[in-house]
Structure 1
Amino acid sequence: MSSFPISEACPADAVPPGRIGYDISADQLLLHTLQSEEAFDALCSAGVLVSDPSRIDPFLVDAYDWLYRQMAARLTTAGDGAIWLWAQITRRDLVDSCGHSIGQVLLTCKVPRERVLLSHYGDWHSVLNKFPHIPELRGESDEDNTACMNRRYDDFVARLKAAGAWGAGIAAWPTDLRADVEQGWESIFDPGNYGRFESWQATMHTLRAEDIVKAVRIRR
């Protein structure tokens, strides 16, 4: 039997009104995740939820493999995949996510920081798309940032084409280029590189029943 309350609500009522109260600097992180009813049942039954890495889109395997290596190096836990959660998102966007997740379960969680890897939601897409991450510098104009991004991208493409690796997986990239790009991606983990009002995602090896504060089944 679960030790947390379980209720049902429409998307607009699944998230309490007002400020959610995220604090990505806290020792205990407030997190939200939407999981299928099947996954929720597995969590309640086994007391733990783990992911299935075999279900990843083949195009995204390289990005997820890099993330898994980062989790192995940075977290105190171990595992083969990742559970995805929100660590900071607007209430409106979380309600919108619930609206696209009818039949799923919204879990509110509290998890020790050492079990969680935070990453910037928007800039994670550089990893997904296998592009260099070019952060915007403080005081840099949009025009200068765009010019810098174009130069870096053109150089990236030229080096891949020269190595015959354009369109290939990361494993086929020149070693020095791969090291440069992967090192650049690591900046997405540092909140100091961003402003206060950014969206942050979280990944964990396992989600435990004792991490759950409450569960809300999303209904129409």
Structure 2
Amino acid sequence: MPKFPVARSRADRAVPAGRVGYDLTASRLLLHTFQTEDAFEELLSTGQLLPDPDLAEPLFADAYAWMFREMDRRLPTSGDGALWFWARTTREYLVDSCRRNRGDVLLTCRIPRERMLLSHHWDWHCALSGIPHVLELPGESDDDYEARRDRIWDEVEDRKGAAGVLGKGFRDWPEDVRRDLERSWEQFLDPSTYGRWDTVQATAHALYAEDVVSAVRLDPR
């Protein structure tokens, strides 16, 4: 029997009312993740859940490979692939996610901070799109930021064009272009750059039963 409560709920009633209570500075982070019923059964039967790297979207293989390398470099743990969590989002988004994950299991967890790699949810899309992440400077206007960002993006395209790799995948780009791009992505792994209301995700090499606070099986309808 699990040492945490397991409930069943309609998707629109699975998240308790009120403030969620995320705190990115806590020693044990409050996290949420949606897992399939099969994955949940694996957690219950073995006491742990490990990621399946084959589930990563092939179209974004380079971005995921970079994230996995950063996890290996920055975390005291190791493993193949990553489990994904919400480290800060709105209650409304969680409820909407429950609706989109009917039939799955919503897990509320508290995991030691050192086992988690935080990343800015929206800025992660720079890695998925293979474009530089450009951090907004203090006091910079929207127009100035967009102009500077566009110059940086255009510069990367010019370097790719000079190398004859326009339209080719990330792995075919010159090493110096890939290196500069990945360095720009490291900025969205730094929580000190996040705004107060920014949505934050987190990745880990494993989830253990003792990390779970509660589980809610979401009705399939």
Is TM-score (shorter-chain normalized) higher than 0.5? yes
1:154 is matched with 154
Q: Take 1:167 and 1:208, find their aligned partners in 2: how far apart are those partners?
A: 42
Q: How does 1:75-90 map to 2 (within 5 A)?
A: 75-90=75-90
* Matched residue type, 2:85: L
* Matched residue type, 2:78: A
Q: How does 1:42-61 map to 2 (within 5 A)?
A: 42-61=42-61
1:16 Cα shift? 0.8
1:194 Cα shift? 2.1
1:31 is matched with 31
1:12 is matched with 12
1:137 is matched with 137
Q: Take 1:53 and 1:112, find their aligned partners in 2: how far apart are those partners?
A: 23
Q: Take 1:83 and 1:142, find their aligned partners in 2: how far apart are those partners?
A: 34
When the two chains are superposed, the root-mean-square deviation of aligned CA atoms in Å is 1.0
Q: Take 1:210 and 1:194, find their aligned partners in 2: how far apart are those partners?
A: 29
2:101 is matched with 101
TM-score by length of 2: 0.97
Q: Secondary structure at the match of 2:201?
A: strand
1:165 is matched with 165
Q: Take 2:16 and 2:184, find their aligned partners in 1: how far apart are those partners?
A: 37
Q: Take 2:15 and 2:218, find their aligned partners in 1: how far apart are those partners?
A: 10
1:2 is matched with 2
1:175 Cα shift? 1.8
1:199 Cα shift? 0.5
* Matched residue type, 1:61: A
2:63 is matched with 63
Taking only the aligned residue pairs, the percentage that are identical comes to 51
1:153 Cα shift? 1.0
Extract structure 1 runs of 4+ deviating beyond 6 A: none
Q: Take 1:129 and 1:180, find their aligned partners in 2: how far apart are those partners?
A: 15
1:9 Cα shift? 1.0
1:11 Cα shift? 2.1
Q: Secondary structure at the match of 1:108?
A: strand
* Matched residue type, 1:85: F
Q: Take 2:166 and 2:71, find their aligned partners in 1: how far apart are those partners?
A: 28
Q: Secondary structure at the match of 2:32?
A: strand
1:126 is matched with 126
1:168 Cα shift? 2.3
For residues 158-177 of structure 1, give each alpha carbon's deviation from its aligned partner in whole angstroms, at most 9, with x where no partner exists: 11121122222322222221
Q: Which segments of 5 or more consecutive residues in structure 1 lack a partner in the other structure? A: none
Q: Take 2:149 and 2:35, find their aligned partners in 1: how far apart are those partners?
A: 36
Q: Which moved more, 1:67-76 or 1:133-142?
A: 133-142
For residues 101-122 of structure 1, give each alpha carbon's deviation from its aligned partner in whole angstroms, at most 9, with x where no partner exists: 1100000000001110000001
1:142 Cα shift? 1.1
Q: Take 2:8 and 2:166, find their aligned partners in 1: how far apart are those partners?
A: 49
Q: Take 1:146 and 1:21, find their aligned partners in 2: how far apart are those partners?
A: 33
